[in-house]
């Protein structure tokens, strides 16, 4: 019942993003890039906020041949820096800026957070296996050559070696 209530309430919330000047200072995007990103964000999310379910639906469009829901969950967690369960434009713009234009250290920190599934400060084989399974599911069954069910675990073992 609670998740149904959240779905009903979210569109009625109108989130006001922080000012353009603050976002220019916090990201490595130009004014016109931020404005373009914001138009696209508002087009997909008129309330200015995105819950995980909506994020997953949007993200899944990019991977119609597979199941992107698990990987979308991990991405959502990584973008949701303040851990409040919704993404606002600032969360999205700051995360995207790091991924596209951040320093190597910033990108590594963001990626580490993505792979640290249980947020305990370590990336374990178990964390990595969850991510690998999600990536393989997202890519779908149409990869060439066809991959077996043990492929994610083999990938993790090679990585840790």
Domain 30-160 has CATH 1.10.238.10: yes
**For the chain, domain boundaries:** 30-160
Q: Are 59 and 74 in contact (CB under 8 A)?
A: no
Q: What is the pLDDT of residues 120-129, one digit of tens each?
A: 999 999 999 9
Confidence (pTM) = 0.80
Q: What is the pLDDT of residues 31-43, one digit of tens each?
A: 999 999 999 999 9
What pLDDT shows up at residue 82?
Answer: 87
């Amino acid at each position: 019942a609670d998740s149904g209530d959240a779905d009903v309430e979210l569109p009625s919330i109108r989130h006001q993003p922080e000012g353009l000047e603050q976002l220019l200072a916090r990201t490595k995007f130009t004014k016109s890039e931020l404005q373009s990103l914001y138009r696209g964000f508002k087009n997909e999310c008129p309330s200015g906020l995105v819950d995980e379910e909506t994020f997953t639906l949007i993200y899944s469009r990019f991977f119609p041949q597979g199941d992107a829901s698990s990987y979308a969950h991990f991405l959502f967690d990584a973008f949701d820096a303040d851990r409040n369960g919704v993404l606002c434009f600032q969360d999205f713009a700051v995360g995207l800026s790091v991924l596209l234009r951040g320093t190597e250290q910033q990108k590594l920190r963001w990626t580490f957070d993505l792979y640290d599934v249980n947020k305990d400060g370590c990336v374990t084989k178990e964390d990595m296996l969850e991510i690998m399974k999600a990536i393989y599911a997202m890519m779908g069954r149409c990869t060439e050559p066809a991959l077996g069910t043990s492929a994610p675990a083999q990938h993790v073992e090679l990585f840790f070696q």
